[in-house]
Amino acid sequence: MFLKTHKTASSTVLNILYRFAETHNLSVALPAGRHVHLGYPWFFLARYVEGVASQQRFNIMCNHLRFNLPEVQKVMPNDTFYFSILRNPVFQLESSFIYYKTYAPAFQRAPSLDAFLASPQTFYNDSHLLRNVYAKNNMWFDFGFNPNAPAEEGYVRARIAEVEQRFQLVLIAEHLDESLVLLRRRLRWALDDVVAFRLNSRSARSVTRLAPETRERAQRWCALDWRLYQHFNRSLWGQLRAELGPRRLRGEVARLRARRRELAVLCLQDGGAPQNRTQIHDPGLRPYQPGAADILGYNLRPGLDNRTQRVCQRLVTPELQYMAHLYSLQFPEKPPKNIP
């Protein structure tokens, strides 16, 4: 069970899980009907999963949801491996501002992220919580906690302890390759199972450079996310040191990166560089374009043999299209999901 947090490189991890599920013919807890999320931003309920009434348990669960353990346990087996991913909340908030600019009321009213963070209470209204979840402590919210709670020491420690008790691993986006090395070790998967290209990433022109004072304001505004991130960043590196050590870790990361380069040469046109939407030839490989974000994708090399084409296509298929594909495989009797 992967708790897919927002704007944290989680789409890249989702691709890893979708590919593993398809390769091994595993069942995935997918959103019911026309939906693309598992009830987000409301707390997750088992009935948000397609086929939950007829399926005993699913093998993999990885779409966006707000964590609600009792309901998740109705869908997943007792021996489920739980993991998630976090990102430095300063950069997570910057990404969210661009991505959800036209959706979140707090962001709609703010001319820039600098202006928003200079006086966040001018723009942020608690009464619009379900539309403003992206504007304050969004990762804390995804774990099922209150994003507007005071960052009191006892409260924060108790909530972090809850996460540690349930989640066997928390990845860190800034150290994704090291995180994937540890994930592979925990799941006992092959190297190719965890190799991935970056998906749902933005072009450099749609990334805002933040002044030092803006970064400090973002840390204060998202204090709960900041505490969560600091704790699990330390935890990740403690586990890496204990289980692998510096030399072995460097070797494993080098192997992962070398295999990614090999697959990029094998699969990708344009020297492996991600392309903007207008440059992607296959409409089925064009990612969703929200807000002011310029989301990049990939072109496959022409002339690939059938087996290679299948491997490469899975690596670069955007998450909405991949979800629709898995849905059609699992529920061929249902109307397909319409992904424009």
217-229 pLDDT tens trace:
999 999 999 999 9
Can you give the pLDDT at residue 92?
A: 98
For residue 85, give the 3-state DSSP assignment.
strand
Asked if pLDDT for residue 291 goes beyond 80, the answer is: no
Asked if 1 and 62 touch (Cβ cutoff 8 Å), the reply is yes
Give rounded-to-5 percent helix, strand, coil for the chain: 55, 5, 40
Whether 325 has a pLDDT exceeding 90, the answer reads: yes
Q: In whole angstroms, what is the distance from residue 215 CA to residue 234 CA?
A: 20
According to CATH, what is the number of the domain 2-330?
3.40.50.300
What percent of the chain is predicted at pLDDT more than 90?
90
Residue 2 buriedness (CB in 10 A; 0-12 / 13-18 / 19+):
buried
Its pTM stands at 0.96
The tally of CA atoms less than 13 A away on the side-chain side of residue 73 is 6
Structure tokens belonging to residue 333: 């009797």
Of the chain, the percentage scoring pLDDT greater than 70 comes to 100
What is the tens place of the pLDDT at every residue in 82-129? 999 999 999 999 999 999 999 999 999 999 999 999 999 999 987 788
Query: Can you give 142-191 as a three-state secondary structure string?
Result: HCCCCCCCCCCHHHHHHHHHHHHHHCCEEEEHHHHHHHHHHHHHHHCCCH
Q: Cα 73 from chain centroid? A: 21
Burial class (CB in 10 A: 0-12, 13-18, 19+), 102: exposed
Instruction: Please report the pLDDT score of residue 77 as a whole number.
Output: 97
pLDDT at 272 (0 to 100): 86
Average pLDDT score over residue span 53-62: 93
| pLDDT value for 206 | 80
- Copy the structure tokens of residue 265: 């040469």
User: What pLDDT is attached to residue 204?
Assistant: 82
The pLDDT score that the predictor gives to residue 165 is: 98
Residues 6+ positions from 1 with CB-CB distance below 8 Å: 60, 61, 62, 72, 76, 80, 81, 82, 83
- Residues 167-222 pLDDT 10s: 999 999 999 999 999 999 999 999 999 999 999 898 888 888 899 999 999 999 99
With b meaning 16 or more CB within 10 Å and e meaning fewer, what string describes 240-278? beeebeeeebeebbeebeeebeebbeebbeeebebbbbe
Q: How many CB atoms lie within 10 A of CB 91?
A: 18
How much is the pLDDT for 271?
A: 82
Mean pLDDT of all residues belonging to the chain:
95
Write out the E strands in the chain.
2-3, 83-86, 169-172
Q: 120-150, pLDDT tens digit by residue?
A: 999 998 778 899 999 999 999 999 999 999 9
- Quote the crossing angle between the two packed helices 176-187 and 245-267, to the nearest 10°: 100
